[in-house]
Amino acid sequence: ASICRTSKTFQGQRQDIETSLSLSCTHSPNNLNVFVVKGASDSGIVEGTESKPHSRPYMVSLEQEGQHHCGGALVRKDFVLTSAHCNKLGLTAVLGAHNIKKEEKSQQRIQVARYHVHPNYKDGLFGFDVMLLKLKTNSILNKYVKPIGLPKKDKRILANIKCSVAGWGMRFPSTAASDVLRETAVKTRFVNECKNIWLDSFNSSQMICTHSSGKKGGICQVISSTIILYEDQQGIAAYTHRVKCDDPTYPHVFMKIPSFVQWIKEMHRVSHSVSFYGWNVSCE
């Protein structure tokens, strides 16, 4: 496998606030918006419920040496979208999974062949935290494995929209991770609220933020990458408070995929060409 990136593997500051789940926000039962949630290593659902098995066929578990490392979303039969800070060699994509510790008949395990980190991503910072993974072989699409559609255009995200977050990871702070896909309810927050808490780390042009809809609950760090949905928008989980991850005072932040659709399409196209050079990424 070859790895294309602009900086060395993730380390430092982001360790303190990271996540990996899938978030979907609904305005009405037939209106979904997708936001790809960043894939931090070690994040999960706090006080949520077990998801209906295979109800989110786009969800992907990214494993390293048999252990869940990050979450991601299948965006094409041969591409997985996740967070740039999940960048590690030797990843295997597990598709069609509900319980990642069992060898379910629905599962497909495919090695990652190429790693495309956004050229503007910098280690230790929170902007441009997206990465596309090119699978070694195409996945077989069926009722257990389906790509999530990319948003056609960006839209303003209103506050107090109910969303659901799903992912694998720890169920409570400082506890073992959940082997099954879980989900919990959250709501979008006002941009100013997020800026007041996260200051310069929050960029409204690239990010949205949510908070737990109840007094407790939310997402925690235990193995990352989550996905958020609302109408035709999308996002990837970026960060939250490491210790107080179940405290509704601290918003959970997600990368807005509409901001990166053009880059994603370019990577889809360039992956079929002879060379990966000339796209502001370095391959080694």
pLDDT value of position 144: 98
pLDDT value of position 41: 43
pLDDT value of position 91: 96
pLDDT value of position 190: 83
pLDDT value of position 271: 65
pLDDT value of position 258: 77
Q: Which of 77, 113, 69, 122 is nearest to 95 (CA)?
A: 77
pLDDT value of position 55: 93
CA distance 43 to 70: 8
pLDDT value of position 121: 87
pLDDT value of position 243: 45
pLDDT value of position 103: 93
Locus of tokens 């990652």: 112
Q: Which stretches in the chain have pLDDT values below 70?
A: 1-47, 153-155, 169-177, 213-248, 271-284
Check if CATH label 2.40.10.10 holds for domain 7-273: yes
Helix, strand or coil, per DSSP, at residue 134: strand
pLDDT value of position 220: 59
Alpha helices for the chain (secondary structure H)? 191-198, 261-270
- 133-191 pLDDT, tens digit per residue, is 999 999 999 999 999 887 776 667 778 877 777 788 655 555 556 789 988 777 888 88
For the chain, give every domain's residue range: 7-273
